[in-house]
Structure 1
Amino acid sequence: MPIDNKKPKYNTAKRRIARFITAEHSGDALRNLATILLPCLLLFYLVDLHTAIGIGVGTLMASLTDLPGNRADKWKSATYCIPVFAVATFLTASTFSTPVLLIACLMLSAFAYTMLTVFGPRPAAVGSLALILMSFIIGLRPTSPVELTIHITIGACWYYLISILQARITPYRSLRYAMADGFHHLAVLLQAKAACYNPEIPIEQTYRKLGKVHIQVSDSQEGIRRLLLREEKLLSPEMNSAWLNRIYGLIDLHELLTALDYDYEAIRQTLGTTGALTPIQSLIHILSREVEAVGHAQQFKTSRNTPITQNIAVDKLLLEIGNIRNQYPAEVRTILDAIIQNIKAIIHLIGVLQKSEHNYADHGKTIKNNEYHHFIPSTNSNWRTIKNHLTFNSPIFTFAVRLAILFGAGCFLGFWMSNTNYAYWILLTLAIVARPSFINTKKRNIQRITGTLTGLTIGILLLQTVHHIPTLLGIAALGLFGFFMFNRPNYMISVIFITVAVMLALNIHEGNIERILESRLLFTFTGASLAIIGCYFIPVQQKSGMQNLANEVVRSSIAYLKTLEQQLQGNTFDNYAVRLARKNTQTILAAFSDMMHQLQTEPAQRKKDWTAPNAFHTLAYRINSLTIGLSVNIGNQCTDFTKQLQLSERSNNINNLLTDLNQLARGL
């Protein structure tokens, strides 16, 4: 019988709510709101509204470019943001009165700022927000380019002064939150793995789900490595017992969760009639909650009241699986022994993480300090990097051309509809919803349109029931806070909040609510339609990229297995070589999953037969799990000759699967 009750579910829900409220983006939302509103109020009373708006817009836009990171990351964002915003403001304000020049300026800027993506996520964020800033400036109808440029620049400088100061006071804040997110994604991975033991769910569906979750896990661990392994102070011997132990525990837990000794197909077929699959699923769900609790405890620096090693439900389920194991012949016992061994290893590691006393350096499981830089991606980009992307074979270049054309078309439509002050919402919508892939553009469109309609409805109700101006301004401020609060985790809800805030503020400032409603709807739909049309007429071709990634998946999988075979033959275990090979394989596999998922939704690819790519994807994940399972066993191996023969046989079986994978890659 599966063991479950309402209390664990209640505790899990409570932790999720607490995790959201206390997440990094929540603290950032409060900081951003204070950084924007307090100076604006002072400037409004001490100087004038015009100055307050200019500096407020600069602060607002700069805050949206500030991605989570360490002190060096904040400085990098600031060095990109401040000059780019200054140039974007001056060019837009200078050409505003001449339609032809403005259209040319917007098209060139859309292309240039989108190409900043080749330098990484921070310059990409600055480029995107620069286009949004240019859209806002058109709405401000500037009369003095120099004055507005100074105001925007002051706002950007003011924001990054606060952000960098905060990073100096709490230098490891982003790392602490990233570590908690890492455990959260592992908990989600466990939930997905539980479905693999449910014979009613098609195995291909479970592998697709695992692929999507693997992208999130890979991204979160990549973010942790970037934050931790670039901080020399955290790699010092004095700090080894803290942050390094946590990331080793996180990554080793991921290894245990991914490891397989037998295919899920074989497990389902062999255990399907034994009754063992149900308690295994229940046990995995409990482990998922425990892993989530580990992340929660590390985020809030608390300890677990009841360690997993004393969890009665876990003991009962293990006993139930053990009793089933004793009732069946050798084939069933062998598979259940492997599953029980893996689960016990997971339980042991969770218990270690709950105690926070384990030192990996004491057990020879670490790598040398001078080897850590191999585990973080290279950031040696320069202006020659752009030259290499000036081809339609580059998705970044293709999207930059598309966005430039869309901005030109949007600006033309805005001038054609010159009877309204809000035509800039076309460009604003384009800058926000247009994405390289069709699926992301469609998703953003749905979120923006749904959020806009909901926000307008709420705004109308508020204006009909509340007439006290200070109260409406307070609600608008809460709307701005809600926008910052939900901008990262749920864009649609953030659109609801910002629509309410903008609607109330514009109505107080200008009046004429009917015109505001009409313009918001008309130009949001126009911008959203242009973004979708652009996906059809200028699609981002990624098929060759998928083929190259498939070849890389095969190459890295073979390299990973060869690394393990060398360990097996030499009866040694090189942590550096094995960890690096595993990391490279999983990163490439996640990139392939992401690209295939995006390609399957592109309009030009919908009629394509995806049988072969799906088969490749499923087999690649099977091989990865089996290879990691082999790695775990080699790392724990003894000198027993029979054990080594069994491991060698498993290695040969994986080699045969790699041959099949290579054949599938050639046929993509």
Structure 2
Amino acid sequence: MNSYSRRLRYFFTGQHFSDGVRTTVAILLPALLLAQWGHFDLGLTVSTGAVCVSVTDTPGPPAHRRNGMLAALALVQLTALLTSVAATSVWGLGLEIGVLSFLCTMLLVWGARAGAVGTAGLLNVVLLLAHPPALSQALPHAGLLLLGGLWYAGLALVAYQVRPYRPAQQALGECVHAIAQFLALKAKFYNPATALEEDYRQLVAQQVVVNEKQEAARDFLFRTRQIVNETTSTGRRLVLTFVETVDLYERITAAYYDYGNVREAFGRSGLLPDIAGLIRHIAAELDHLGVAIQTGRPYDGPGPDLGAEWGRLQARISALDAGSADGQTRVLKKILVNLRDIIRRVGNIRRYFDESLTADVPAPSRAAEHARFVAHQEIELQALSQNFTLSSSVFRHSVRMMLACLVAFVVAESLWHGQHNYWILMTVTIMLKPGFSLTRQRNQERIIGTLAGGALGGAILWALPWTEARFGVLVGFMVLAYSFQRTVYLATVIFLTAYLLIMFSFLGLSYIGVAEERITDTLIGCAIAFSAGYFLFPRWESEQLTDYMAAALRANLAYLRQLANRLAGRPLPPNEYRLLRKEVYVSGANLAAAFQRMLTEPKSKQHRPTETHEFVVLNHILSSNIAALTATLREAAPAVPPFAAEGRRALTSAVAALQKSLARMTPDAAAPATELGLGTAGNGASDDKTLLEQLAFLQKVSGDIGRVSEVLIEK
């Protein structure tokens, strides 16, 4: 199975495609059934309720999904009744839109799912603007929306009850897939034809994806009581396999070398293409495992013989070592050791398919233990009042949304009288995001997707005069549109626009007129959203990068301290270490994501992008080398290698350099203690030159971070 077919299998067996199919069924079925009985308008209202509730059904623990859908149901009912009352006056509608757009957006203070609940309520208001129900029909209309929402929620919960482990398998499979792609990118570092700077840029970007997938899988696995308290082997195998993937990712990130020197020293030996080939083969094997986990089927290997390929590479390096100066191939041997460990861990992940793996392992409750690894978001009313200040990004975005929605409403009512002019307001609510970079990206994708979707829909209607064929294409486009809505927004807009044109053709409307109106409304809405994002209380990513850098420095400082503790002979509980490691990954990914967002903003708003990229890369190199040293010490436990005074000085200097950098970025914060408590253990000279070299390298990287941070804080 090649990479293209693997990607297709990942898509068609993934949670996003499953959500797309479920959403399509939930929307189409009520409208089709009631249309057969001559009540298409009632069916459309029921489908609207399903559409609104589907917005909150994002991947996550079943209890959170259920609570989100129930909250959306309540808000949809409330907004339906309010809109019926406000629709008696255009001034009343304007007041309602202004107030609700602000309050619904403020729900973001309680997290993304709460924000989705607000989006569902606001979406219902916008859709009701097409045909606001009269006061006498307010309660029946709200009842139909409730029926549609309950229909969708019931369908989603029944699907989970029928296959309770399916979402967890999909989340774990996607996590493995992201790590496989990260590993495949590491192969590029052994290709002298590629630019190392671009290789690092791609690697750091993929680090963001890996962190997102790990957080999603961790959130689902560790918050689902049925899994963490599982008494059979299925749930335990899911949890154990996820823990193994995190350890594998640590080993992959720990594989850092001076790739410039490696290319220069061994570029002509012919070994580097073989190393890169083995890495790609390991990544492909890992990708196959991810597909098998996600599909819920046994792994149909055997795949390449990675052990034999590793043995051949070892023989070639040994032959090169025999004819070279002592120590010249030491870095190649380190690469070999690391690849052998990665192959072993990939084999451990393959044990996921062994149902007897945990059959004899007791299953005590582990909910409290796993709960430490997931973030908790409490619904507290005081959080809302605390964010009523311009220093709050959520408050600024809420005010921005309110003003933009009011402008869109005035434009739609006063300046543009299209049949579906509520599309302008809908475009604004969807396009306007808290960060300008995402708003700009969504606007571009919306415009391009609308034009492409209009052309695609028109071509389908011209080429397929048969009703059955058009309906089949409509269903397919709906599934694709809802499958890509959280991953590839451009694809969502293309298929959404195309299926809307086909749907309106069934209603007897001219698709050319609908396409023209759709494009016009989209351009007006995007212009309003873009202007609001640029001019109304913007907060550029460059203004927030210092916070992300400081968080990354704190995480690496704590990571470095645990290394010092290990070198001093003090043990660290495994869970404490994993929490430190998780914080390093999360803070590094957040920093990389913020840097990527900054690059999409206007150049005049970017602050030293070259130095910022250097800081991001150095932060990644630092955490990778700390992880490499920690892994070496864990394998050497309980014995501790000799720790000479030279090594202690290097480690102390590295910590001091990071603390100095952190103090520059957070001058108002209290300075952390510099004492590492290394004592005088291992005072003699160390025979482990590798350890001293690695500690010296940590000192150098920390110093480089200090140099770059000093430049970055200059105004």
2:166 corresponds, among 169, 173, 185, to: 173
- The whole-number CA distance in structure 1 between the counterparts of 2:387 and 2:194 is 43
- The whole-number CA distance in structure 2 between the counterparts of 1:412 and 1:290 is 57
Cα drift, residue 634 of structure 1:
1.0
In structure 2, what is the equivalent of residue 550 of structure 1? 549
Give the counterpart letter for 1:18 in structure 2: R
In structure 1, what is the equivalent of residue 90 of structure 2? 99
Pick which of 463-472 and 183-192 moved more.
463-472
1:70 corresponds, among 51, 61, 66, to: 61
Alignment of 1:37 onto 2:28: yes
Partner secondary structure for residue 375 of structure 1: coil
In structure 2, what is the equivalent of residue 15 of structure 1? 6
Distance 1:38 1:177, change over 3 A: same
Distance 1:592 1:390, change over 3 A: farther
In structure 2, what is the equivalent of residue 578 of structure 1? 577
In structure 1, what is the equivalent of residue 206 of structure 2? 213
Give the counterpart letter for 1:209 in structure 2: Q
Give the counterpart letter for 1:205 in structure 2: E
Give the counterpart letter for 1:330 in structure 2: D
**Deviations, residues 156-196 of structure 1 (Å, cap 9, x unaligned):** 12211221222222222211101000110011101221222
Give the counterpart letter for 1:338 in structure 2: K
Partner secondary structure for residue 101 of structure 2: helix
Cα drift, residue 258 of structure 1:
0.5
Distance 1:315 1:648, change over 3 A: closer
Cα drift, residue 502 of structure 1:
1.4
Give the structure with the higher percent helix: 1
How do 1:411-422 residues align onto structure 2 when only pairs under 5 Å count?
411-417=409-415, 419-422=417-420
1:255 corresponds, among 247, 250, 259, to: 250
8 Å Cα contact 1:565/1:651 also seen in 2 = no
In structure 1, what is the equivalent of residue 43 of structure 2? 52
Alignment of 1:658 onto 2:679: no
8 Å Cα contact 1:308/1:347 also seen in 2 = no
Pick which of 58-67 and 298-307 moved more.
298-307
In structure 2, what is the equivalent of residue 626 of structure 1? 625
Q: TM-score, normalised by structure 1?
A: 0.91
Cα drift, residue 329 of structure 1:
2.6
1:288 corresponds, among 246, 258, 283, to: 283
Alignment of 1:164 onto 2:162: no
In structure 1, what is the equivalent of residue 666 of structure 2? none
In structure 1, what is the equivalent of residue 101 of structure 2? 110
- The whole-number CA distance in structure 2 between the counterparts of 1:399 and 1:245 is 41
Pick which of 117-126 and 323-332 moved more.
323-332
Distance 1:146 1:660, change over 3 A: same
1:246 corresponds, among 236, 241, 252, to: 241
8 Å Cα contact 2:317/2:329 also seen in 1 = no
Alignment of 1:119 onto 2:110: yes
8 Å Cα contact 1:573/1:635 also seen in 2 = no
Give the counterpart letter for 1:291 in structure 2: L
Distance 1:461 1:243, change over 3 A: closer
Cα drift, residue 44 of structure 1:
2.6
**Deviations, residues 638-664 of structure 1 (Å, cap 9, x unaligned):** 537459844763345425533543554
**Deviations, residues 233-277 of structure 1 (Å, cap 9, x unaligned):** 433465475122211211111011100363434434444454432
Cα drift, residue 633 of structure 1:
0.4
8 Å Cα contact 2:227/2:236 also seen in 1 = no
Alignment of 1:224 onto 2:220: no
In structure 2, what is the equivalent of residue 155 of structure 1? 148
In structure 1, what is the equivalent of residue 668 of structure 2? none
In structure 2, what is the equivalent of residue 523 of structure 1? 521
Cα drift, residue 503 of structure 1:
1.2
Cα drift, residue 347 of structure 1:
0.8
8 Å Cα contact 1:438/1:603 also seen in 2 = no
In structure 1, what is the equivalent of residue 389 of structure 2? 391
- The whole-number CA distance in structure 2 between the counterparts of 1:263 and 1:93 is 67
How do 1:65-464 residues align onto structure 2 when only pairs under 5 Å count?
65-143=56-134, 144-236=137-229, 238-239=232-233, 241-260=236-255, 262-300=257-295, 301-306=297-302, 309=305, 312-356=308-352, 357=354, 370-417=368-415, 419-464=417-462
Identity of aligned residues (%): 23
- The whole-number CA distance in structure 2 between the counterparts of 1:15 and 1:174 is 19
**Deviations, residues 432-455 of structure 1 (Å, cap 9, x unaligned):** 222223332232223222222222
- Count of residue correspondences: 658
In structure 1, what is the equivalent of residue 561 of structure 2? 562
Pick which of 558-567 and 270-279 moved more.
270-279
8 Å Cα contact 2:52/2:72 also seen in 1 = no
Cα drift, residue 47 of structure 1:
6.1
8 Å Cα contact 1:248/1:360 also seen in 2 = no
Cα drift, residue 19 of structure 1:
1.8
- The whole-number CA distance in structure 1 between the counterparts of 2:104 and 2:324 is 65
Distance 1:89 1:330, change over 3 A: farther
- The whole-number CA distance in structure 1 between the counterparts of 2:351 and 2:300 is 8
8 Å Cα contact 1:325/1:336 also seen in 2 = no
Give the counterpart letter for 1:487 in structure 2: Q
- The whole-number CA distance in structure 1 between the counterparts of 2:318 and 2:390 is 59
Cα drift, residue 146 of structure 1:
3.0
How do 1:501-512 residues align onto structure 2 when only pairs under 5 Å count?
501-512=499-510
Indicate the RMSD between aligned Cα atoms, in angstroms.
Answer: 2.8
Distance 1:145 1:398, change over 3 A: same
8 Å Cα contact 1:212/1:593 also seen in 2 = yes
8 Å Cα contact 1:309/1:347 also seen in 2 = no
- The whole-number CA distance in structure 1 between the counterparts of 2:443 and 2:411 is 19
Q: TM-score, normalised by structure 2?
A: 0.85
Distance 1:380 1:496, change over 3 A: same
- The whole-number CA distance in structure 2 between the counterparts of 1:97 and 1:514 is 32
In structure 2, what is the equivalent of residue 5 of structure 1? none
Cα drift, residue 70 of structure 1:
2.9
**Deviations, residues 324-374 of structure 1 (Å, cap 9, x unaligned):** 3444333432111110000010111112222335969999xx997643221
**Deviations, residues 208-230 of structure 1 (Å, cap 9, x unaligned):** 22221111111111111111112
- The whole-number CA distance in structure 1 between the counterparts of 2:700 and 2:462 is 71
Partner secondary structure for residue 130 of structure 2: helix
Pick which of 270-279 and 639-648 moved more.
639-648
Give the counterpart letter for 2:278 in structure 1: L
In structure 1, what is the equivalent of residue 656 of structure 2? none
Partner secondary structure for residue 524 of structure 1: helix
Give the counterpart letter for 2:328 in structure 1: V
Distance 1:13 1:459, change over 3 A: closer
Pick which of 50-59 and 563-572 moved more.
563-572
